A and B are shown apart, each in its own frame.
Chain A
Amino acid sequence: MYNILLIEDNPDFQLLVNKAISNDRTKVLTASTTHEGFTLLQSHPVHLILLEVDLPDRNGFDWYAEIQEHDQFKDILAIFLTIKGEVSNKVTAFSLGAEDYWVKPIQPLELRVRVEAKLRKIQQKKAIDNIMRKGNLRLHVAFQKAYLVENDQERTIKLTPTEFRILHYLARLEEHVLSRNQILAEVWGNDSNVFDRTVDAHVSALRKKLSPYSGCIESILGEGYRFLSPKKLESI
């Protein structure tokens, strides 16, 4: 689900944007002022901001410059959606790091496809960001795929979905000793038909597939398993 923060004081336009881009995977969070917008930004994960320049409480450019100073918000894509079409405003927006500048009026279908294109860009970026790197190992979380990098070449490790989930869980919490019960709960959830020996069987299969880096999953006697940190993995 994507959350789009719309900061716009015109109720007619708020309604239009909502109708144009809300669907089962896109939710529009609407604010009429930058103050309301900031409150929504702090309380919801926001993936894209659509922002007017002229707002009742302050100028959209100033507000955008200010949120750029917050580490948690500076990577959110922002698009100015405004009636002000002057080049000087576009220059200001892009200088501040805005993703785009759209001038109203904009036909609703055009708005929809433009927003969808931006969401696809976010998705692609997210996919790139979702690659976990652990020494020679790469876990592509979005596609549930694992690779080993040897001599600058990627080799796919063919894992079952369960093996991938185990490896991802262990790698995510590298250096932590995770008990069989913890792994069971994380990977199988509440499936009571699975026993802790099942974990051992999957880990054993996983290690074979990770060869010659099998040692990255260490058995801790009487406790469970531990994924070794990237530095240790490289030296195995």
Chain B
Amino acid sequence: MNQPSSNLINMEIIEDLISLSPTGGVEVLEEIIEAFIQSGHSRVQKLIQGATTQDAKVLSFEAHSFKSSSGNVGSLKIPSLCIELEKSAHQGQVANATQLVNQIQKEFDALKTALLQILKDRSK
């Protein structure tokens, strides 16, 4: 079952992104969401790989970047998971990385669905 958007996303940021469009349409939001989903897939794959190989450097770098990117589209959950992962990886503690990466992947999938739903609703 999908989570409501308000549990996943800071809607104030979505409204902000919509207001960036000179026409008041969703084109800027759409472009930013598409770029986020595309880069998000790649980051999640790198995190999975980093957790599998227990590569602290990769985990730290990708978690650091994903924290910022997901915050840009208003994610309420991914940044805190990334902070936790980055902190652990920075200290060389990668044993629980797989569990955190799984959570990040799950939240990314939910966020993606919610963002696309918002886009669909706002495009009507």
Q: Which residues of A contact B (CB under 8 A)?
A: 10-13, 15-16, 19-20, 54, 83, 104-105, 107-109, 112
A-contact 0/1 string along B65-86, CB 8 Å cutoff: 1011101100000010000000
Is the beta-carbon distance between A105 and B71 smaller than 8 angstroms?
A: yes
Q: 8 Å CB contacts to A: which residues of B1-60?
A: 12-13, 16-17, 19-20, 28, 31-32, 35-36, 39
Q: Which residues of B contact A (CB under 8 A)?
A: 12-13, 16-17, 19-20, 28, 31-32, 35-36, 39, 64-65, 67-69, 71-72, 79
Which 5 A-B pairs have CB atoms at the shortest separation, nearest pair first?
A105-B71, A12-B69, A109-B16, A107-B16, A19-B28
Given contacts A10-B69, A13-B72, contact A108 B20 (CB under 8 A): yes
Closest A residue by C-beta to B86: A83
Is the beta-carbon distance between A108 and B31 smaller than 8 angstroms?
A: no
Is the beta-carbon distance between B68 and A10 smaller than 8 angstroms?
A: yes
Docked pose: A134 CA to B38 CA in angstroms: 59
By a CB distance below 8 angstroms, the chain A residues around B72 are 12-13, 16, 105
By a CB distance below 8 angstroms, the chain B residues around A107 are 12-13, 16
CB distance from A57 to the nearest CB of B (A): 14
By a CB distance below 8 angstroms, the chain B residues around A10 are 65, 68-69
Docked pose: A83 CA to B86 CA in angstroms: 13
By a CB distance below 8 angstroms, the chain B residues around A83 are 64, 67-68
Is the beta-carbon distance between A20 and B20 smaller than 8 angstroms?
A: yes
Is the beta-carbon distance between B71 and A104 smaller than 8 angstroms?
A: yes
Docked pose: A181 CA to B16 CA in angstroms: 55
Interface of A is mostly: helix
By a CB distance below 8 angstroms, the chain B residues around A19 are 17, 20, 28, 31-32
Closest A residue by C-beta to B61: A54
Contact of A13 (CB < 8 Å), options: B17, B69, B79: B69
CB distance from B68 to the nearest CB of A (A): 5
Docked pose: A7 CA to B16 CA in angstroms: 23
Is the beta-carbon distance between A12 and B32 smaller than 8 angstroms?
A: yes
CB distance from B109 to the nearest CB of A (A): 18
Given contacts A15-B31, A54-B64, A83-B67, contact A109 B36 (CB under 8 A): no
